[in-house]
């Protein structure tokens, strides 16, 4: 995996260390991962992308081999605004003042905030299997709550969810990922082992909970402020979702993004939530069509 990449560590102004990989040459492309994963989720598409782009795949703070900084009652250290700032700073350290961005799940929520807060740096944006966070909370149904039980488990006050995850981190990973449409068989055992290793690292459970607590609190405050001000994404946006996934079955994904952005395209793919690992060839076609020669 990642044969065309080198491992990198970036120390940010606040002392947080962000881990990732960089490979290839061409226009800059940033990849951000979801929960409970790491940058390794891109392993089936990364080497091909590196033939076309200067690819940077990062571990979000709190995930993978990045730092797990302390937080506070406002969960600001894990707000999507803070996590977006991490990514912008890393890209600037690499000399990229502008770049394209493709992100999945939690990383896509960071990417949404990044494109709103730093519109001058993102040229094109692709988001995988999410609808806008505020819309999803406002339109939560019983079906969604049952399928996305972890959204409501992880935001409970500490230390209950942390203790339950720390009791068996590997099983937490397989419980979350194995209950989705494709089951566990779709994942490369090497990738799954990396996800389990990273969730087992000290502080991971608390960092994951803080990410979700932020999404149910301070992130919604930021989203409501944007909505009140009439701010929308103004860059080209492409959204993809899994036809068999919960997001596509519970929400009108394309319409919700059209409510949040000016220029939107997208469609469902024949898969579940983990698009980059379930349908890598189809994802590559979509990415190259949307991103290549468009920088």
Q: Closest by alpha carbon to 243, among 219, 213, 273?
A: 273
Are 247 and 108 contacting, i.e. CB atoms less than 8 angstroms apart? no
Are 42 and 57 contacting, i.e. CB atoms less than 8 angstroms apart? yes
Let me know if 35 is a catalytic residue: no
- Residue 9 neighbours by CB under 8 Å, 6+ apart: 17, 18, 19
Alpha carbon 277 to its chain centroid, in Å, reads: 14
Q: Is the dihedral of CA 37, 199, 89, 51 positive or negative?
A: negative
Q: What 3 state SS string does 73-134 have?
A: CCCHHHCHHHHHHHHHHHHHHCCCCCEEEEEEHHHHHHHHHHHHHCCCCEEEEEEECCCCHH
Let me know if 222 is a catalytic residue: no
Are 169 and 30 contacting, i.e. CB atoms less than 8 angstroms apart? no
Q: Choosing from 54, 105, 129, 223, which is the catalytic residue?
A: 105
Catalytic residues: 105, 273
């Amino acid at each position: 995996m990642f044969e065309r990449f080198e491992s990198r560590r970036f120390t940010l102004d606040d002392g947080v260390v962000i881990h990732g990989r960089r490979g290839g040459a061409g226009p800059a492309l940033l990849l951000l991962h979801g929960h409970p994963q790491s940058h390794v989720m891109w392993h089936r598409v990364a080497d091909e992308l590196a033939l076309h782009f200067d690819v940077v795949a990062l571990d979000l703070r709190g995930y993978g081999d990045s730092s797990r900084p302390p937080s506070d009652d406002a969960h600001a250290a894990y707000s999507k605004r803070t996590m977006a700032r991490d990514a912008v700073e890393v890209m600037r350290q690499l000399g990229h003042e502008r770049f394209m961005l493709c992100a999945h799940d939690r990383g896509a929520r960071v990417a949404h905030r990044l494109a709103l807060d730093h519109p001058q740096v993102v040229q094109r944006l692709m988001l995988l299997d999410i609808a806008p966070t505020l819309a999803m909370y406002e339109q939560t149904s019983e079906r969604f709550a049952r399928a996305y039980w972890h959204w409501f488990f992880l935001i409970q006050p500490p230390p209950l969810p942390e203790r339950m995850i720390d009791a068996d981190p590997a099983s937490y990973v397989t419980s979350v990922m194995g209950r989705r449409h494709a089951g566990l068989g779709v994942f490369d055992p090497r990738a799954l082992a990396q996800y389990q290793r990273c969730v087992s690292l000290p502080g991971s459970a608390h960092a994951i909970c803080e990410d979700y607590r932020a999404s149910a609190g301070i992130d919604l405050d930021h989203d409501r402020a944007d909505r009140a001000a009439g701010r929308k994404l103004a860059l080209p946006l492409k959204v993809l979702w899994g036809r068999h996934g919960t997001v596509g079955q519970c929400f009108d994904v394309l319409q919700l993004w059209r409510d949040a952005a000016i220029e939107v395209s997208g469609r469902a793919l024949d898969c579940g939530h983990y698009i980059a690992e379930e349908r890598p060839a189809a994802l590559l076609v979509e990415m190259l069509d949307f991103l290549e020669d468009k920088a």
